[in-house]
Structure 1
Amino acid sequence: MDDRLLAHGLGGAKDLPLSLELAIAGAVAALVVSFTVLAIAWRKPRYDAATSGHPAPAWLDRLTASTAWRVWWRAFGIAVLLYVGWAAVAGPDTLVNPFLGVFYVLVWVGVMLLSVLVGPVWKAISPSRTINLLLAKVSASSPGEGLYAYPTRLGYWPAALGLFAFVWLELVYPSSTEVGAVRLWCAAYLAIMLLGGALFGDKFFAHADPFEVYSSLAAKLSVWGRRDGRLVVRSPLADLDSVAAKPGLVGVVAVLFGSTAFDSFRESERWVQFVQASSVDSFVLNNLALLAFCVAVGVILAVGTMATGVGEGVRRSALPDLFAHSVVPIIIGYIVAHYLRYLVEYGQITLAQLSDPLSRGDNYLGTADLGVNLWLTYHPEFLARLKVLAVVLGHVLGVIAAHERAVQLLPAKHQLTGQLPLLFAMVGFTVGGLYLLFAA
């Protein structure tokens, strides 16, 4: 992997041979039309996780519920941990070390997008969950229960902090592509996960593991779900509606969305010129900007949702977390727009490097001579349209998810006007996101 790893696959205006004004106008029109149609035709709740979905084929349900299936994926996760850990410890401290590609490309982008297709991947392969399970077996205790009950008030806030720590390492820390720095981050992450699992059991991973929380949220857009322990196939929006509104959910989506926006912003010509001309150290400026983007997303979402009004028995302060799930499709849309080419092209490079973890000319996996298909790079117009489509589709799905939640919570006479502040927030996210995508 060469120094192009630093580009994060964003491309930018040179890869977007489309008019910014046309893209924004089309996206805003799509949101407004979607909202209008929903306001007229969708006046009652349509999704109920307890009843929605059709049973999956019996053989598939038996397979995915079997012990052998779970053991296979847990063993796979541990095998990857050991193999990639070997590269991290014994491999060279250079960009050709596959440890970096696995961490930044296959896990952060690949696992999350794969979760959209097949379900919560990280939960299935999580090394920390597996190690916690093995330790519980040795000590004859239950992995689901730790020494203490997980504090309800913490919710997803630990995961939000963990996600911020990751994006800070990736986007701000000057040594983000040095094996030693990333290795230290991973060691600290694993230690915290194992300690938390021992103290609070599996519930800690579901709320505090940044990768599991991210993967599980992305999986809510898959067609696969569980109802009464049975595998079902249902609308991704019905699955998304089942996201539990807990403290910190706004923080999670704010970090994910805000950091992606910052990733575009820091590549823009205006920001680069500002940083170069400023007397303040660039490290400080980037720290402040990353934090500002994440906080701004959280504030806009909170204001937009709390301004919708409340129904009977609903506290206004609870609305941000109740509507936060509607930002998940937007996040996935921007992940596709920003990182798809990055995943496809550098994912291939990483697979080739994995065959030679110590950079000695080995070919353990038989992929060392794998060529890199640059089809997306050679078709910029297709890539541009795909990026804009991903952003617009993500926002349209977000509007639908927010509308469904609004008709569940708001009184009938207030359902239309109550949603307008949130619609304005969605439009702001769309315009800002597309502008940054083109400006990068």
Structure 2
Amino acid sequence: MVVQQAVSASAWRWVWRVAGLVAAAYFCLGLIFGPDQVENPTAGVVYVLFWVGLLPLSLLFGPVWRTLNPLRTVHLLACMALRRDAETGLRPLPPGLGYWPAAAGILSFVWLELVAPERTTLPVITVWLVAYVVIMMAGAVVFGSRWFDKGDAFEAYSDLAGRLSPLVRRRDGVVAWRNSLDGMAGLRPAPGLTVLVVVLLGSTMYDSLSNAPVWVRFVQESPVPAPVMGTTGLLTVIGVVLAAYLGATTLAGRWGAAEPGTTPGELAHAVVPIAVGYMVAHYYTLLLLEGQRTVSLLSDPLVIGANWLGTAGWKVSAAGTTPAGIAMLQVTVIVIGHLVGTVLAHDRALVLFPRRTAVVGQIPLLLLMVAYTVVGLLLMFAA
């Protein structure tokens, strides 16, 4: 069975591609022609509707950004006009490249979101987006459309989350239900994959830490500029998460008598549900509240009093949520993410480790999962 995203049937593929182009063009109205004011929806679209909203969309329907990605569509249209094979570039995609470009792209984006000075202003967002578009399109020209699979940070991000989707399109085109673990279990080791998933988890942990009163006071009282402190903090948290992962998985490999150096890459897929659970818990209220506000502002991207989408009059509603309900949701999704990660790590360990060492080899993995759970919950409620 070939796993394909639920929205990519041949009859609909171009509908979604066009929808992605239209949405990108509409977004550019506010980005290019709108005033640099808080009423401009650009920042909300980038940081809330796109970055946060892409996660639940991928969890439900699979790696949707592969089809919606306007950069992939523009490249495809250009290749069709030039009568070239879109998958063929000027040179083959290096096997060792793997997910490294996506990991670098995610790191640069979370730095923009969490650390960059004036990060909600149009000039800062524009500079980052232009640089990203240039790099992505240059990669597509050199390596062909396969570049987007692991080179585009947001396609890789959507693909990782989409592997937990309960929907699958079979080879015959029929959409069917599946065990969500099947897609994640099929994620194989690749260069840069470990760093990519750790950046997703570590950056979300840093976001919680940066909102904690202790960290806020520390930054305010420090003589070091806030962007330097923020960059150092972000890299430190990611580094600690990575060191803990590499230490535990390397030790597991030794105790489990696995082939040296293979365990960290083989178990990277088990971190994805943990990162996804933590991101859902952390960003749920942001998507719920700021998402409504951004949709309202989208009716007037030029801030001229228009109501092009009919949403300008929307009022932000908490939709019946309560602090206790939100806290319960956060704890639940974090625990579920860790349970799923533990199951995935257990199943892969049974394949990696000989039967005589399978149990002892999983002890460091269990301790790692417990540590991630405790630290995640502490950071979540410290913010």
TM-score calculated relative to the size of structure 2: 0.95
| Structure 2 CA distance for aligned equivalents of residues 69 and 149 of structure 1 | 30
Identify which of 325, 340, 344 aligns with 1:382: 325
| Structure 2 CA distance for aligned equivalents of residues 179 and 85 of structure 1 | 11
Match of 2:362 in 1: 419
Query: What SS does the aligned partner of 1:109 have?
Result: coil
Relative contact order (alpha carbons < 8 A, sep ≥ 6): 1 or 2 greater?
A: 1
Deviation per CA, 1:186-219, whole angstroms, max 9, x where unpaired? 1111111111111111211011111110000000
Deviation per CA, 1:291-350, whole angstroms, max 9, x where unpaired? 011121122111111211269996432221211111111111111111111101111111
Identity %: 41
Match of 2:236 in 1: 292
Q: Is the 8 A contact 1:159 1:209 kept in 2?
A: yes
Q: Is the 8 A contact 2:256 2:360 kept in 1?
A: no
Q: Indicate how the Cα distance of structure 1 residues 257 and 249 shifts in structure 2: closer, same or farther if over 3 A, else same.
A: same
Match of 1:262 in 2: 206
Q: Is the 8 A contact 1:105 1:347 kept in 2?
A: yes
| Structure 2 CA distance for aligned equivalents of residues 407 and 212 of structure 1 | 30
5+ long unaligned stretches in structure 1: 1-49
| 2:219 aligned with 1:279 | no
Name the Cα RMSD after superposition.
2.1
5+ long unaligned stretches in structure 2: none
Identify which of 65, 86, 91 aligns with 1:143: 86
| Structure 1 CA distance for aligned equivalents of residues 337 and 316 of structure 2 | 29
| Structure 2 CA distance for aligned equivalents of residues 77 and 162 of structure 1 | 20
| Structure 1 CA distance for aligned equivalents of residues 15 and 190 of structure 2 | 31
Matches within 5 A, 1:298-337: 298-309=242-253, 315-337=259-281
Identify which of 89, 96, 110 aligns with 2:39: 96
Q: Is the 8 A contact 1:395 1:430 kept in 2?
A: yes
In the TM superposition, what is the alpha-carbon distance from 1:380 to its structure 2 partner? 0.8
Q: Is the 8 A contact 1:311 1:409 kept in 2?
A: no
| Structure 2 CA distance for aligned equivalents of residues 194 and 126 of structure 1 | 12
Deviation per CA, 1:212-241, whole angstroms, max 9, x where unpaired? 100000000001235556554311111110
| Structure 2 CA distance for aligned equivalents of residues 350 and 276 of structure 1 | 29
Match of 2:65 in 1: 122
| 2:363 aligned with 1:408 | no
| Structure 2 CA distance for aligned equivalents of residues 279 and 347 of structure 1 | 35
Matches within 5 A, 1:11-410: 64-66=8-10, 68-226=11-169, 228=171, 230=173, 231-309=175-253, 315-375=259-319, 379-410=322-353
In the TM superposition, what is the alpha-carbon distance from 1:250 to its structure 2 partner? 0.8
Deviation per CA, 1:377-399, whole angstroms, max 9, x where unpaired? x5111111001111111101110
In the TM superposition, what is the alpha-carbon distance from 1:65 to its structure 2 partner? 2.2
Query: What SS does the aligned partner of 2:106 have?
Result: helix
Query: What SS does the aligned partner of 1:214 have?
Result: helix
Q: Is the 8 A contact 1:310 1:409 kept in 2?
A: no
In the TM superposition, what is the alpha-carbon distance from 1:245 to its structure 2 partner? 1.1
Q: Is the 8 A contact 1:311 1:411 kept in 2?
A: no
| Structure 2 CA distance for aligned equivalents of residues 174 and 257 of structure 1 | 23
Q: Indicate how the Cα distance of structure 1 residues 172 and 380 shifts in structure 2: closer, same or farther if over 3 A, else same.
A: same
Match of 1:11 in 2: none
| Structure 2 CA distance for aligned equivalents of residues 274 and 371 of structure 1 | 36
